[in-house]
A = this chain, B = another copy of it.
Amino acid sequence: MAVRVSVNGYGTIGKRVADAVARQPDMTLVGVAKTRPSFEAAVAIERGYPLYVAGGGDLGAFRAAGLRVAGTLEEMIRASDVVVDCTPEKTGQANSAAYTAAGIRPIFQGGESATVAEASFNAASNFTAARGKKSLRVVSCNTTGIARAAALLREKYGVAEWEATIVRRAADPSESDRGPINGILPNFKLPSHHGPDVKTIFPDLRISTLAVVVPTTLMHIHVNHVRLERPPASVGDVVEAFRSTPRFHLFRRWEQVAGTPQVMEYARDRGGRRPDMMENVLWEEGISLQGNELRFFQAIHQESIVVPENVDAIRAMFELAPDGATSMARTDQHLATAR
């Protein structure tokens, strides 16, 4: 029988998780919860997702807008086995007690602190350890991107030390009221929180990160310098490792992808439910090896990279797949079919 999944919070991540869950044959989307009417609520209803009103929400406003409401957040939760909490940062923690009281298993996002759940999760890194957990936290977009690469590099070559600069997008494309215009803002937490967050997945990884915010909405870029324990045979060996690993997309030189604008253009060209890049994006010419010193750029689509991870987190929690590779393959196949 399919696991019954509801999504609380229908913003950038929530709406994508709803789309992804709706496509998995071993899951049923019970509904999505939102506080206010908007074009996004209207599209949810058009797509056939039952729409529930979240706690502080205004039922009258939905009615005035002519949007059919299926019930309250509480009703949605009662009808579900698991809730994916996609509410704004730090709100998940506040919702936690209500989920526990309702006897539902929650999955939180990376904006919450690690203590919100039994374990932090990344499909390629610790699926097996997460099996059967009563609550999980899918790590943030940047942490997910690093964890995926770390899972690969640790296994193939060992990682002695990792230094990364996170060049962060200032806002998501539709957030038209925030972010710097024409400036760069350093993150004055040195090292930044990304390194410690990766250690919620790989506690023994030696990693340190610094971050700046720049005026773009498309993607983050990670500038990575990794000292490997075992030198690869050649840079081509590393390139092939990235190319053949699920959830990595490697552009070739002739594809003429100069940066994040062309990456997202590719996402639009490729098609699918949305123009998303759920993979870590690398460039063949953006990988360099000197002895055991590996340097590479990777671009991270902050809006979508954690989406398949949420699906896998549900499978881990309910032991719907024996291991991460199996779950990831299933998730990705159904997301691609939907394309």
Residues of A within 8 A of B (CB): 15, 36-40, 42-43, 46, 61, 64-65, 163, 165, 167, 170-171, 173-186, 188, 190-191, 208, 210, 212-219, 221, 223, 225, 251-252, 254-262, 264-266, 268-271, 273-275, 283, 285-288, 293, 295-297, 299
- Asked if A174 contacts B262 (CB within 8 A), the reply is yes
Query: What residue of chain B has the Cβ atom nearest to residue A284's Cβ?
Result: B188
Interface centre among A182, A219, A273, by most chain B C-beta atoms within 10 angstroms, is: A182
Interface of A is mostly: mixed
A209 to chain B, nearest CB (A): 10
Q: A39-B255, A183-B218, A213-B259 are in contact. List 6 more A-B contacts (CB 8 A).
A: A65-B252, A178-B179, A182-B215, A184-B299, A190-B286, A212-B221
- Asked if A269 contacts B182 (CB within 8 A), the reply is no
- Asked if B163 contacts A225 (CB within 8 A), the reply is yes
Separation of A153 and B33 alpha carbons in the complex (Å) = 41
- Asked if A216 contacts B218 (CB within 8 A), the reply is no
Query: What residue of chain B has the Cβ atom nearest to residue A221's Cβ?
Result: B184
- Asked if B210 contacts A251 (CB within 8 A), the reply is no
Q: When A65-B254, A174-B261, A190-B288 are in contact, do A182 and B218 touch as well, CB less than 8 Å?
A: yes
Question: Chain B residues with Cβ under 8 A from A261's Cβ?
Answer: 173-176, 180, 182-183, 217
Question: Chain B residues with Cβ under 8 A from A214's Cβ?
Answer: 167, 184, 214-216
Q: When A43-B270, A165-B223, A271-B273 are in contact, do A215 and B216 touch as well, CB less than 8 Å?
A: yes
Query: What residue of chain B has the Cβ atom nearest to residue A180's Cβ?
Result: B176
A255 to chain B, nearest CB (A): 4
- Asked if A39 contacts B259 (CB within 8 A), the reply is no
Separation of A68 and B260 alpha carbons in the complex (Å) = 27
- Asked if A185 contacts B258 (CB within 8 A), the reply is yes
Query: What residue of chain B has the Cβ atom nearest to residue A294's Cβ?
Result: B190
Separation of A184 and B184 alpha carbons in the complex (Å) = 12
Q: When A176-B185, A186-B283 are in contact, do A42 and B255 touch as well, CB less than 8 Å?
A: yes
- 3 closest Cβ pairs, A-B complex: A185-B259, A190-B288, A174-B265
- Asked if A268 contacts B260 (CB within 8 A), the reply is no
Question: Chain B residues with Cβ under 8 A from A61's Cβ?
Answer: 254
Separation of A261 and B221 alpha carbons in the complex (Å) = 21
- Asked if A212 contacts B271 (CB within 8 A), the reply is no
Q: Which of B39, B46, B167, B181 is within 8 Å of A182, CB to CB?
A: B181
Separation of A178 and B175 alpha carbons in the complex (Å) = 10
- Asked if A271 contacts B274 (CB within 8 A), the reply is yes
